Structure 1
Amino acid sequence: MKPSRLFDLIPYQIATYDKEIALSKKENGEWKHFSSRNLKEIVDNLSLAFLKVGLKKGEKVAIISENCSEWNFIDFALQQIGAISVPVYPTITSSDFEYIFDHAEVKMIFVGDQVIFDKAKEVCGDRKIYSFAQLDGAIFWEDFLAIGVNESIADLELLKEQVQPDDLFTIIYTSGTTGRPKGVMLSHTNVLSNVISIAAIMTPQKGSSRVLSFLPLCHIYERTGSFCFMYLGFSIYYAESMETIGENMKEIKPHAFNTVPRLLEKVYDKIVAKGYELSGIKKSLFFWALNLGLDYDPGNKLGAWYDFQLKIANKLIFSKWREALGGEVLQINSGASALQPRLARVFWAAGIKVCEGYGLTETSPVVSASVCTAEEMRIGWVGKLVKDVQVKIAEDGEILVHGPNVMLGYYKQPEMTAEVLQNGWFHTGDIGELDGEFLKITDRKKEMFKTSGGKYIAPQLMENKFKESTLIDQLMVVGENKNYPSALIVPSFDGLKEYCKHKGIPYTTDADMIEKAEIIEKYDREVEQLNKYFGKWEQIKRFKLLHDPWGIESGELTPTMKLKRKVIMQKYGKEIEQIYQE
Structure 2
Amino acid sequence: MNTDDYAPYASLPEMLFHRVRATPGSRAFAVPTPDDTGLIWLTWAQTGERATRIAAGLRGLGVTTGDRVALLSSTRLEWVLADLGVNCAGAATTTVYPTTAPDDAAYIVTDSGSKIFIAENASHAAKISGAQTSVTHVVLIDGPADPAARPPQLTLADLEDRGAAALAAEPGLITDIVATIGPDDLASLIYTSGTTGRARGVELTHGGWVWQAVAQDGVGVFDPAGLQYLWLPLSHSFGKSLLSGVIHVGVPTYVDGRVDKLVDMLAVVRPTLMCAAPRIFEKVYNRAVTTAIAGGGLKAKIFHWAVATGKRKVAAQQAGKPVGALLRARYAVAEKLVFSKLQNRLGGKGIVLVSGSAPLGRDIAEFFAAAGLPVLEGYGLTESSAVSFVNRPGAFRIGTVGQPLGNLEVKTDTDGEILLRGRSIMRAYHHLPEATRDTLTDDGFLRTGDIGHVDADGYLTITDRKKDLVKTSGGKYIAPSAIENQFKAVCPYASQVLVIGQSRNFVTMLVTLDEESIVAWAGGKPYAEVVAAAETEKLIAGYVEQLNAKLNRWETVKKFAILPRDLTIDDDEITPSMKVKRKVVETNFASQIEHMYAGSVAQL
Q: Same fold (TM over 0.5)?
A: yes
Answering whether residue 500 of structure 2 is matched by residue 478 of structure 1, we say yes
Does structure 2 retain, via aligned residues, the 8 Å contact 1:293–1:347? no
* Alignment correspondent of 2:149: none
Contact 1:169 1:186 in 2 (8 A): yes
Paired position in structure 2 for 1:61: 69
Give how far 1:471 is off: 2.9
Contact in 2 for aligned 1:221/1:365 (Cα 8 Å):
yes
1:75 is aligned to 83
Is the 1:253–1:329 contact (alpha carbons within 8 Å) kept by the matching residues of 2? Answer: no
1:73-152 equivalent positions in 2, closer than 5 A: 73-121=81-129, 123=131, 127-137=136-146, 138-151=153-166, 152=170
Mean Cα deviation higher: 288-297 or 436-445: 288-297
State yes or no: 1:408 paired with 2:427: yes
Q: Quote how far apart the aligned CAs of 1:335 are.
A: 0.2
The alignment status of 1:201 with 2:219, answered yes or no, reads: yes
Q: CA deviation at 1:572?
A: 1.1
Please point out which of 437, 440, 460 is paired with 1:418: 437
1:359 pairs with one of 362, 380, 385? 380
Kindly indicate whether the alpha-carbon contact (under 8 Å) linking 2:74 and 2:257 is maintained by their aligned counterparts in 1: no
Q: What percentage of aligned pairs have identical amino acids?
A: 29
Partner of residue 224, structure 1: 241
Matches within 5 A, 1:525-540: 525-540=542-557
CA 1:135–1:554: 2 relative to 1, 3 Å: farther
**2:277 counterpart letter in structure 1:** V
Amino acid at match of 1:251: V
Per the alignment, residue 16 of structure 1 pairs with 22
Equivalent residue, structure 1, for 2:4 = none
The answer to whether the 8 A contact 2:307-2:371 is kept is no
SS in 2 for 1:50: helix
Q: Distance in 2 between matches of 1:290 and 1:214?
A: 29
Aligned equivalent of 1:313, options 319, 334, 349: 334
- Indicate yes or no: 2:538 matched with 1:521: yes
In 1, Cα distance between the equivalents of 2:238 and 2:348? 25
CA distance in 2 between partners of 1:135 and 1:429 (Å): 45
The superposition leaves residues 486-526 of structure 1 with CA deviations (integer Å, 9 ceiling, x where unpaired) of 1111123444345545xxxxx74433334444432332222
CA RMSD of aligned residues (A): 2.0
| Runs (5+) with no aligned partner, structure 1 | 502-506
CA distance, structure 1, for counterparts of residue 53 and residue 431 of structure 2: 32
TM-score when normalising by structure 2: 0.91
CA distance in 1, matches of 2:130, 2:78: 23
Rounded to whole Å, the distance in 1 between the matches of 2:538 and 2:54 is 62
Letter of the structure 2 residue corresponding to residue 390 of structure 1? E
For 1:453-532, what aligned pairs fall within 5 Å after superposition?
453-468=474-489, 469-500=491-522, 508-532=525-549
Does the 8 A contact of 1:101 with 1:124 survive in 2?
Answer: no
8 Å CA contact retained: 2:145, 2:155: no
Counterparts of 1:320-469 in structure 2, within 5 Å, are 320-327=341-348, 329-373=350-394, 376-422=395-441, 423-436=443-456, 437-468=458-489, 469=491
1:252 — aligned with what?
Answer: 269
Could you tell me whether the CA contact under 8 Å between 1:476 and 1:487 is conserved in 2?
yes
Give, in whole Å, the separation in 1 of the partners of 2:83 and 2:117.
12
Shift of 1:385: 1.2
Counterparts of 2:576 and 2:560 in 1: how far apart (Å)?
26
State whether residues 519 and 526 of structure 2, in contact with CA within 8 Å, keep that contact through their aligned partners in structure 1: no
> In the alignment, which of 237, 253, 260 is matched to residue 236 of structure 1?
253
AA aligned to 1:26 is P
How far apart, in 2, do the equivalents of 1:545 and 1:8 lie?
53
Partner Cα distance (2:69, 2:567) in 1: 31
SS of structure 1 residue aligned to 2:554 = coil
Q: Which amino acid aligns with 2:449?
A: G
SS in 2 for 1:399: strand
Inter-partner Cα distance in structure 2 for 1:279 and 1:178: 44
1:304 corresponds to? 325
Shift of 1:329: 4.0
The alpha-carbon distance between structure 1 residues 54 and 396, as it changes in their structure 2 partners (threshold 3 A), is same
Change (3 A) 1:496 1:246: closer
C-alpha deviation, 1:253, in angstroms: 1.1
* Aligned residue runs from structure 1 range 252-271, under 5 A: 252-271=269-288
2:164 is paired with a residue of what secondary structure? coil
- Distance (Å, rounded) in 1 between the aligned partners of 2:543 and 2:299: 26
Distance 2:576 2:522 in 1: 33
User: Which runs of 4 or more aligned residues in structure 1 lie more than 6 Å from their structure 2 counterparts after TM superposition?
Assistant: none
The alpha carbon displacement at 1:244 in A equals 0.8
Could you tell me how far apart the structure 1 residues matched to 2:530 and 2:173 are?
A: 67
Inter-partner Cα distance in structure 1 for 2:529 and 2:56: 60
Of 169, 172, 176, the residue aligned with 2:194 is 176
My pick for the range that moved more, 277-286 or 397-406, is: 277-286
Task: Please tell me whether the aligned partners of residues 106 and 127 of structure 2 are also in contact (alpha carbons under 8 angstroms).
Answer: no
Out of 268, 273, 284, the residue aligned to residue 301 of structure 2 is: 284
Q: Which amino acid aligns with 1:396?
A: D
Deviations 1:201-231 (A, max 9, x none): 12353x2211111010111101111221222
Tell me the secondary structure at the aligned position of residue 91 of structure 1. Answer: coil
Shift in CA distance, 112/124, structure 1 to aligned 2, threshold 3 Å: farther
Residue 504 of structure 1 corresponds to none
Question: 1 CA distance for matches of 2:597 and 2:296?
Answer: 43
CA distance in 1, matches of 2:179, 2:515: 57
TM-score when scaled to structure 1?
0.94
The match for 2:571 is 554
Residue 593 of structure 2 aligns with which residue?
Answer: 576
Pick closer, same or farther for the CA change 1:124–1:139 going to 2, 3 Å: farther
C-alpha contact (below 8 Å) 2:286/2:493 kept by paired residues: no
SS at match of 1:442: strand
Query: In structure 2, the residue corresponding to 1:106 is in which secondary structure?
Result: coil
- CA–CA separation in structure 2 for the residues paired with 1:363 and 1:413: 17
